[in-house]
Every structure is written in structure tokens, then in C-alpha cells.
Structure 1
Amino acid sequence: MQSFPEIRQFIQGEWRRGSGKSVETVLNPATARPLTEFAHAGLGDIDDALDAAGESARRWRNTAPEERYRILRRAADLLRSRVEAAAPLLSLEQGKPLAESRAEIAASADILDWYAEEGRRAYGRIVPGAPGTRLMVTAEPVGPVAAFTPWNFPATTVTRKVGGALAAGCTIIVKASEETPATAVAVFECLAEAGLPLGVANLVFGVPAQISERMLKSPVLRKVSLTGSIGVGRTLGHLAVDHDLVTTMELGGNAPVIVFDDVDVEAVATACASAKFRNAGQVCNAPSRFYVHERVADRFIECAAAFAAALRVGPGVQPSTQMGALANRRRLDAMIEFADDARSRGATVLCAGNRPEGDGYFFAPTVIAEVPDNAKVMTDEVFGPIMPITRFLDVDDVIRRANDTTYGLGSFVFTASLERATLVSDALEAGLVGVNTTVLSRPETPFGGIKASGHGYESGVEGVEAYLRRKAILQHPPIHSA
């Protein structure tokens, strides 16, 4: 059995136990039993992290982009070399299968690589002006950053924020999820060993409200980046406005999937179900609401249900597992509520829709057909292994139904028609659109949403730009008296 490491805070380049009075118990989602306990950060720890980020800000800002590049590349190489050690820890504390954990750690290394390269390309520009003048636009680091990351992807969400901030020349304090601390610690160990200067990146765990209020009221910070819920986003957003902080917010999604009748139905149904049940459905940009053309709906439902029924569900650390447990009891209770609500509205639960016998936070992969648009599985972010399917005939009507949501992160369309693909992808109200693919996240493309799903971007050139500010310099010859 994989041993679980001691969890500590990383502040001013040192690993330390938290000085807070409260204690966090990390649970194994597959058993609901404790993996470890650790002390939260106290107010003194938070203040020390703020001091570290503030005091090292100018030094890191003035570090040559080439040196920042080297450090990030070394960290990426270290993380990539530790996939087999880090992946079991991720599966133990979060629940996902080992194959997914390995892929997440490897992807996180790729993210650091991307940011390392892109940080050297934070270009400004020269603006044509009158002879003797020089008009320039320069890029500067926005300043010290507070970043808040969730439990569903504890490696990639940390590296997106750390990579973007460090590449741009910003110092950062990461408040990572207390439910999945070992993965964040593994990332920071690589940064420290890569030669990151003291105080440039800091990691804290603790009572979220206490940490966010203390940090966001500090005059040290200049930016806040959050991946989390709409409610937390609004709370932090108000604090940020009150203290003039720049914000990037990724606040979840409820992605529509439109499947037309000109596709290979079995292939598309399998791809959609595979993406839906990845990480037990706990993916903010996962395909979520399925609108399938009437002529192929029966076959699509049959294939999706067969895929769900065949998935091997079990502890994430078992090599044979294809879908693990939900990350916590909150998600399990929510799945039961979603399934019960759909049944009460006349939907047909074709497989599962319940909690299997035994320990842990398991919920069987579930397909629900003939789901009305007002069911909670269609209106709310499910964030779990429930695949609701409904039908459509008219293109304009299905676009309207797909856009009838407060969310706007991901969306998908499957069709063999180039004309239809262009029409629908242009009409969908979302920050990310997948056409004949379920993959919406790559290091080289921007990741972010609209409407209640947040604002701002991570990854791509936009991911570095999010940590930069622009300065216009209008330089004229010296002024002389006439």
C-alpha cells in the first residue's frame, strides 16, 4: 500500500507544520477512512506567506525570462520523472483511477513546459510616432498573486496558476484544496528542487474563509485567481473589488452536447460516455447535457447505457479500475438527489442510478433518458457520473435549449456537416467549443468561460497575459524654451 506523506505548508522556501488550531483529516474516498491529519495554517503563517511573496516580488520580476524558463523546465522534468510516485497519491486522496492520475501528472508537466516557453515571448510593441519620439507598449508582471485551487484536478489546476504567474514574473501564494493536499505538495517539491528562489511560490492549507479574507485584504496582493464554485467566486469577487485586485475566475460549467443524425452513432456515444464518466464526472468542462437527434437517439442511448454498465468501478489505486469513487460525501449526496429528481419528473433511469453496497463514496455510472429540460440534471452543474439524454429535431430549437443556462464554459457538437458544425459552434454561448471532440483543454489553447462560468483565461498565450499589465511609454525629446 502506498504510504501517505506528511502534509506541511511551504512558506519562504521552507516546509513547516501549520500553526493553526484546527486540524484537517484527509479521507480516502474509496473507503471513507482517514489517510492522515495535518494542522491548518494559522494567521501568522498566512502573514508570513504574504511577506514572502511581497519581499521577493521585485527580485523575481527582475529575474531574466531565460532564467525563469530554466527553472520551470527543470520543475517540469522533475514532475514528469515522478509520475509513478505521484499518481498513487493522487488516486488515494482524490479517488480517480491510476491511469487518469498518471495522465494528469504528465499533463501538469506539459503545462509547466508550455508556460516556461511562453514566458520568453511576453512581447510589447513599438507604435509609429513623429520623428524624434518613441511610443512603446511594454508588458510588466501584475504583481503578487493569490491562487485558490480545487480538489478535482489538484495537479493541473495548481500548475496552470503557478506556471502562468511564474512565467510572467509574478510571485504567488497557492491555497490548494485541503482534501487533496499531497498532490499540491508533490508539485511544490519539484519547484523547490528546480531552484525556485525563496518566497517566490508559497503553498498554504487551512480554513478557506479565514485564508481568503486575510490574504485578499492585504496590500501585498495585486491579483486573485480562482478555480471553484460560483458561490466562492462571488465571495472572492466582492473582496477583490473592495481591494482593487485583478481577477481570473473559472467557476464551473454545464456543457451541452448536440449530436446530429449524420454521425457514427456508436463511436460518438462511446466517446461521449467515456468523457462523461472520466474522473467520475467531476470535470467542470465535461460533456453534461446531451441533446441527440430524434433519428439516432434510441441507438445513442442504448450504446451509452451499455458503456456505463460495462465500466469497472472500484478504488482508484487498483489497476483494473476504470471509474473511481466520488471525491467526498457531498458529491455522493448530490448524485442521489439528482437521480431522485429526474425520476420524479418522468425520466427513465436505464442503468444504475444508485449507490452500490460497501464503503466509500461510490455512485454507479448512470444514464438517464427522456429527461425534461427542467430536471436538475439539466439545469444544475451535476459534477458526477450521471449522463442525462434528451431528444431534438429542429436546429434552431436545440441551440436555444443548449444556451438556456447561466453557465458558459464548455459545449460540444458532433456532425459530419462542415456547414452545420460552423453554424452551431458560432451560435453556442460558451468560452470553449469542441467540434467532433471531447477534448477542450490543451496547454497551448485558452481555457475559460463566460456568463456565470467566470471570466479570464488560463493556458495559451492568454494564460501568460492574465498575469501581465500593459504600460504605454510616450517618450519625446527634452523640452527647451523657445
Structure 2
Amino acid sequence: MQDQVSVDLYIDGRWMPAEAGETVKMIDPATEEQVGSFAQAQSKDVLKAIEAAERAFATWSKVPAWERSNLLRKAASLLAERSEQVARRITLECGKPFAQAKGEVQASVECIDWFADEARRIYGQILPGRTANSRFTATYEPVGVVAAFTAWNFPVVLQARKIAPALAAGCTIVSRPAEEGSGAVALLIKCFIDAGVPAGVVNLLTGTPQVISETVMDSDIVRKVTFTGSIPVGQHLMRRAADTVKRMSMELGGHSPVIVHEDVDPAKAAMIAAQGKFRNNGQVCVSPTRFYVHEKHKDAFTENFLAAAKAMKMGNGFEDGVEIGPLINRRRLEFIEQMVEDTKKDGGTLVMGGKRPADMNRGYFFEPTVFTDVPDDARIMNDEPFGPIAPLSTFSAFDEVIERANALPYGLAAYVFTDSLKLAQQTSQALKVGIVAVNNTAAATAEMPFGGVKHSGFGRENGSQGLLDYLDVKFTNFSF
């Protein structure tokens, strides 16, 4: 079949099967059919990749910034040229609607292009010394070999956010994407290869995570780990990093509050919020997930939110007009089914969805689901749903809603709807999160920092700040 692909490992400038010869099937979540396979890396494969990255670092770290910039720019251009092909793999492997998949590829192009510029803007400092014949300098140097672990919900852009700044800084990288989306990431890697990135600078490992991650964490060669995924896995990696004192960047998801203030148009807010909530079927780390609507707007917001959700077409991502695809796999489908049942038991009122579509016998589809009157102690208000469930509740006062929004240990993103610039500023300042969007649900751009606080992690991706986690600072005291 044309859509069948076999993804090998990419180590030291060569595509190769895993040494043990094992592979894992890729499944299309919309059809439950196999659309390819990927190599199952074992410890020996991981060590090969780490050693290749170490050898390459000796020369890549000395490549002039303008040359690194040119290579990144070319990789971005190649990815743009191949966007349809890459987006198709995203839809096949992850179920994302094709239009959204193309948007992910475009965001990846912008990210790589951004860091092509940032490669030339690694600024240091020069200060007067303590004596007339001395100078102090602070300079930045690449941290070394980097390992990148990413999730399946945005397979290409999550890897682009890590590969691009690593290469811009002069680091080399060993990348391990999630099982779902490996084929799309292999196409991303090929753009860097075809752009002329030297052997060993970028390496791709595929397969189930435990063997790969444990070998990486044991290695003293790997000096930094950047991770996007769940809080429990991130916590485990942080504990393991202590043994070799690795640098860490953690993007660990969240449970994003949405605050709809009294002064806003509830119909407009509901439409924007619904589009943000059900993008990628709610499988987004910054997805709006806890809705606090001013009590004055409860009925109007709910009515318009339901109307917007019902208007969204569900189906295979390649069908025209589809806005909601399947969940990623059967485990996620069963998780969402259980979350719905728990929300009913916890006192929420089901007003829409709550089940698999009756007319879809194949694929991991689940209807957009809305609950009202959800109490704060409900499981769904405390555990990230990561799916197409929207729990709605109300509030009456500013201090009350801020306290409720900040009550959880998560702190990635939050959304605010208000027509008052003063109220927008007050709410943004009061929210304990890394990202706030006001009157929109756009939480990530190439030019601005992305990341969270509290249990949602630390470090930043994108923006000028995104380069800093790949650099060490060196102070030199000159006397002459």
C-alpha cells in the first residue's frame, strides 16, 4: 500500500534497522489499520547514537553561527516544500484533521526558521574589571549532547522545538519521538539531512520508551534532556537525572482554566473557547479544560458553546470539512469513557455527547462532550482530561475565581475573556501559569516563550528564551 512506511533508526548519518531487528506496528487511529512500522531500538542502538552525537559535537560546536543558521534555514525551506507529505503522515498516524496537520507543519517551519536567526544572536556580556587592566566577560557555550523525548499529540512541532534550538546553539541531539507519529518525525529528520547537517549531529531513535530513556539517563555523555509528556514520567526523568547531573527542560502538561468575565459577549467567547477546546480532539497540553463562566452568562455561554461544538464535523481527517478526528489509541478512548462516567458520579450534568458515535464502527472516535454544574472536587476538575470533554461551572466574584483557577498544582496555560484592559491585566497577573491568552486560545508562537510553572515544568521553548536552555554560561576574568 502506498501509505505503508517502514521507519529505520538514523544514527551517525545512516538509516539502519535496529540491531535486534525488531519493529512495532503503526496504526491509523481513524481506521485501526496498519499504516507502517518503526524500528524498536535497544540499548546498543541508543549507545551508538549517543557516541555518534558525542563525536559530532567536537566539530559541530565549532561551526560558525552563520553556517549553522544557513543550514537551519534550508531545513525549514525543505520542510515547507514537503508540507503536504509530512501533514499526510501526521493525519495517518495520529488522526489529526488534515488542515490542522498542515498547520502543525507550518508552525514547525516557523520554529526552525526562527532559530535560524537566533543562532546568530547568542549575545554575551563585557564588564569593566575591578582594576584598570582587567575585563570581565560572560560568554555562552553549547551544553553538549542533548536527548529529546516528545509526545504524540504534535509529533513534528514538538521535535522541531527541540532540534532547532539545539542545533542553533551548537549542540548535537538524539531524538526519540513517541511511537505514534514516528513516520512524520522521520520526514522532519530527512529535511535536516538534506539541508546538509553533518553525520551524528541529528540522530533518530524509535521504539517504546523505557529502554531508550533508561540508557540515555545512565549516560554521562548526554548533558541535557528536554522532555514533553506526562508529569509522572517527567518526575521519573528528573530523579534519574540527578545521578549524572543533567540539565533538564520539562514541559509536563496542565489543566488550563478558562475565565469568562461578566463584561464579555458570551456568544463570541463561547465560539472561540469551543474551537480551542476541541482542536485535536482536546489532545493538547494547553487545551482549555476547566471553564469558569460568570453566573450572569451561564445560560448564554452554554447555549452557544453547545451550538459551536455541534457544528463541528467529526470523521477521518482526510475528509473535507472535518474538524474533529479520532483519539490517538484505544487506551485514550477507554480513559475518556471512564472520565465521563466519573464526572456523572461526581455530580456533573451531561448536556452533550458522552459516548462513541453510533455511526462509526471503526476508529477511536468519541463525541464532543459537555458537562455543566461540575463541582470543583470532581475528578475532571482536578485531573487533566486530555480529550474532548468540557466541564463548565460558574463564579460570581474575581477573588473567588482566581483562587479556584490557581488551586491545582498545574501551571501551564490559562484563558481570559473580558472587554476590559484593566481586568485582563489584573487576571493575567493573578494567574499562576506560564502562558495567558486573552480573548483567544493561541498559546504558542515561534517568537514567544512556551512553558509552565509549578508541576507543569520548567524551562522555555520558542522565543529568544528557548535557546538559553541549550547553553552554558562561562565567566572569564581577563588581566592584561
Structure 2 length normalisation: TM-score? 0.98
Stretch deviating more after TM superposition (139-148 or 25-34): 25-34
Of 445, 461, 476, the match for 1:473:
476
Q: How far apart, CA to CA, are the structure 2 residues paired with 1:22 and 1:247?
A: 30
SS in 1 for 2:155: coil
1:393 aligns with 2:396: yes
Q: How far apart, CA to CA, are the structure 2 residues paired with 1:20 and 1:118?
A: 40
2:26 match: 26
Q: How far apart, CA to CA, are the structure 2 residues paired with 1:243 and 1:317?
A: 46
SS in 2 for 1:117: helix
> What do the CA deviations read for 1:118-139 (whole angstroms, capped 9, x no partner)?
1110100101223211110001
Q: How does 1:99-248 map to 2 (within 5 A)?
A: 99-129=99-129, 130-248=131-249
Q: How far apart, CA to CA, are the structure 1 residues paired with 2:88 and 2:65?
A: 34
Letter in 2 for 1:278: R
Does the 8 Å CA contact 1:332/1:363 hold for their aligned counterparts? yes
Q: How far apart, CA to CA, are the structure 1 residues paired with 2:249 and 2:76?
A: 24
Stretch deviating more after TM superposition (172-181 or 17-26): 17-26
Does the 8 Å CA contact 1:146/1:172 hold for their aligned counterparts? yes
Does the 8 Å CA contact 1:61/1:169 hold for their aligned counterparts? yes
SS in 1 for 2:41: coil
1:346–1:42: structure 2 CA closer, same or farther, 3 Å change rule?
closer
1:480 match: none
1:382 match: 385
> What do the CA deviations read for 1:217-241 (whole angstroms, capped 9, x no partner)?
1121110000010111011111111
Q: How far apart, CA to CA, are the structure 2 residues paired with 1:319 and 1:82?
A: 21
Does the 8 Å CA contact 1:249/1:454 hold for their aligned counterparts? yes
Q: How far apart, CA to CA, are the structure 2 residues paired with 1:4 and 1:165?
A: 31
Q: How far apart, CA to CA, are the structure 2 residues paired with 1:245 and 1:20?
A: 29
Q: How far apart, CA to CA, are the structure 2 residues paired with 1:144 and 1:292?
A: 47
RMSD in angstroms over aligned alpha carbons?
1.1
Does the 8 Å CA contact 2:347/2:378 hold for their aligned counterparts? no
1:325 aligns with 2:299: no
Does the 8 Å CA contact 1:29/1:93 hold for their aligned counterparts? yes
Does the 8 Å CA contact 1:29/1:326 hold for their aligned counterparts? yes
1:431 match: 434
Does the 8 Å CA contact 2:382/2:408 hold for their aligned counterparts? yes
1:442 match: 445
Shift of 1:287: 1.1
Does the 8 Å CA contact 2:3/2:36 hold for their aligned counterparts? no
Does the 8 Å CA contact 1:21/1:42 hold for their aligned counterparts? no
- Between the two proteins, the alignment pairs up a number of residues equal to 477
> What do the CA deviations read for 1:250-273 (whole angstroms, capped 9, x no partner)?
001100010012112111100000
Does the 8 Å CA contact 1:19/1:39 hold for their aligned counterparts? no
Letter in 2 for 1:140: E
Q: How far apart, CA to CA, are the structure 2 residues paired with 1:341 and 1:376?
A: 7
1:17 match: 17
Shift of 1:5: 2.2
2:341 match: 340
Q: How far apart, CA to CA, are the structure 2 residues paired with 1:325 and 1:166?
A: 34
Stretch deviating more after TM superposition (258-267 or 388-397): 258-267
Shift of 1:2: 5.5
SS in 1 for 2:305: helix
Unaligned 5+ runs, structure 1: 478-482
Does the 8 Å CA contact 1:2/1:89 hold for their aligned counterparts? no
1:420 match: 423
Letter in 2 for 1:347: G
1:83 match: 83
Letter in 1 for 2:324: M
Q: How far apart, CA to CA, are the structure 2 residues paired with 1:23 and 1:311?
A: 37
Q: How far apart, CA to CA, are the structure 2 residues paired with 1:172 and 1:319?
A: 38
Does the 8 Å CA contact 1:308/1:351 hold for their aligned counterparts? no
SS in 2 for 1:155: helix
Does the 8 Å CA contact 1:408/1:430 hold for their aligned counterparts? yes
Shift of 1:412: 1.2
Does the 8 Å CA contact 2:38/2:207 hold for their aligned counterparts? no
Stretch deviating more after TM superposition (414-423 or 158-167): 414-423
SS in 2 for 1:103: helix
Shift of 1:154: 0.4
Shift of 1:337: 1.2
Shift of 1:4: 3.0
Letter in 2 for 1:467: Y
Shift of 1:417: 1.2
Does the 8 Å CA contact 1:356/1:363 hold for their aligned counterparts? yes
Shift of 1:22: 4.2
2:454 match: 451
2:256 match: 255
1:303 match: 304
Of 358, 362, 365, the match for 1:359:
362
2:96 match: 96
Letter in 1 for 2:432: E
Unaligned 5+ runs, structure 2: none
Letter in 2 for 1:346: G
Does the 8 Å CA contact 2:42/2:211 hold for their aligned counterparts? no
Does the 8 Å CA contact 1:226/1:248 hold for their aligned counterparts? yes
Shift of 1:25: 1.3
Shift of 1:69: 0.3
Q: How far apart, CA to CA, are the structure 1 residues paired with 2:433 and 2:147?
A: 26
Does the 8 Å CA contact 1:20/1:39 hold for their aligned counterparts? no
Q: How does 1:265-304 map to 2 (within 5 A)?
A: 265-304=266-305
Does the 8 Å CA contact 2:71/2:196 hold for their aligned counterparts? yes
Q: How far apart, CA to CA, are the structure 1 residues paired with 2:466 and 2:376?
A: 35
Shift of 1:367: 1.2
Shift of 1:345: 2.2
Q: How far apart, CA to CA, are the structure 2 residues paired with 1:345 and 1:473?
A: 60
Q: How far apart, CA to CA, are the structure 2 residues paired with 1:2 and 1:398?
A: 52
Does the 8 Å CA contact 1:2/1:88 hold for their aligned counterparts? no
Shift of 1:317: 1.9
Shift of 1:207: 2.7
Shift of 1:422: 1.2
Letter in 2 for 1:302: E
SS in 1 for 2:237: helix
Q: How far apart, CA to CA, are the structure 2 residues paired with 1:81 and 1:23?
A: 30
